[in-house]
């Protein structure tokens, strides 16, 4: 006797059945939605430092990635670094780009919209007058960030704009940047 084989719907590399199963689990057990992500950072001298990502809390339990991820940071030579890695504000652009992309792709998949390719370019303006305290009226962070998506999908131009809007609408990083998030800083002796 043949057994029934379950086929999963995959859209944009996302297993849609599992996405909706996850949504159902979170609806049934709201505590499953709570996550706490962590990084540990180590200074290596000058402008070099690295953050290690390994353990996190989610789905009501402590979890870990199969292996730690190390994110290196430095500054370009013009900013007195060794240019050995992307600098922190470039990491922020990467975090925004990757979160916007993932959010857009997942939300499109949930709606059955197939995307063939996505590219994005991000650009942000900084003015060192703020960081160097040469002008207190100039903010230390980005003054503005521009995101441009190139999306290949078999949809109308209007639908393409709707797809692109899914990233900003659902991205946790976009939300954190545009709405602000409380950050507390403490220090203790090493």
Is the backbone of residue 179 left (phi > 0), alpha (psi -120 to 50) or beta?
alpha
pLDDT at 1 (0 to 100): 45
Distance CA 165, CA 167 (A): 5
The yes-or-no verdict on residue 11 having pLDDT over 80 is yes
Percent of the chain's residues with pLDDT above 70: 96
Overall CATH class of domain 10-85: alpha beta
pLDDT at 100 (0 to 100): 98
Q: Tell me the average pLDDT of the chain.
A: 95
The yes-or-no verdict on residue 4 having pLDDT over 70 is no
| Domain boundaries of the chain, sorted by first residue | 10-85, 87-179
Residue 95 sits at the vertex; the CA angle it makes with 9 and 188, to the nearest 5 degrees, is 125
pTM of the predicted model as reported, rounded to 2 decimal places: 0.91
Mean pLDDT of 88-104: 98
Among 3.40.50.300, 3.20.20.100, 3.30.300.20, 3.40.50.10490, name the CATH number for the domain at 87-179.
Answer: 3.30.300.20
The yes-or-no verdict on residue 6 having pLDDT over 90 is no
């Amino acid at each position: 006797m043949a057994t029934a084989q379950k086929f999963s719907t995959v859209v944009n590399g996302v297993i849609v059945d599992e996405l909706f199963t996850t949504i159902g689990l979170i609806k049934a057990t709201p505590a499953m939605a709570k996550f706490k992500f962590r990084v540990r950072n180590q200074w290596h001298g000058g402008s070099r430092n690295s953050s290690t990502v390994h353990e996190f809390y989610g789905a009501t339990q402590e979890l870990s990635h199969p292996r730690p991820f190390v994110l290196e940071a430095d500054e370009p030579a013009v900013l007195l670094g060794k240019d050995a890695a992307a600098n922190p504000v470039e990491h922020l652009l990467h975090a925004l780009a990757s979160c916007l992309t993932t959010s857009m792709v997942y939300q499109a998949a949930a709606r059955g919209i197939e995307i063939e390719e996505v590219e994005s370019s991000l650009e942000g303006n900084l003015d060192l007058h703020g960081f160097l305290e040469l002008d207190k009226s100039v903010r230390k962070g980005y003054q503005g960030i521009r995101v441009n998506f190139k999306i290949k999908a078999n949809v109308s131009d209007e639908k393409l704009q709707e797809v692109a809007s899914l990233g900003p609408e659902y991205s946790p990083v976009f939300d954190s940047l545009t709405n602000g998030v409380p950050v507390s800083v403490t220090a203790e002796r090493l």
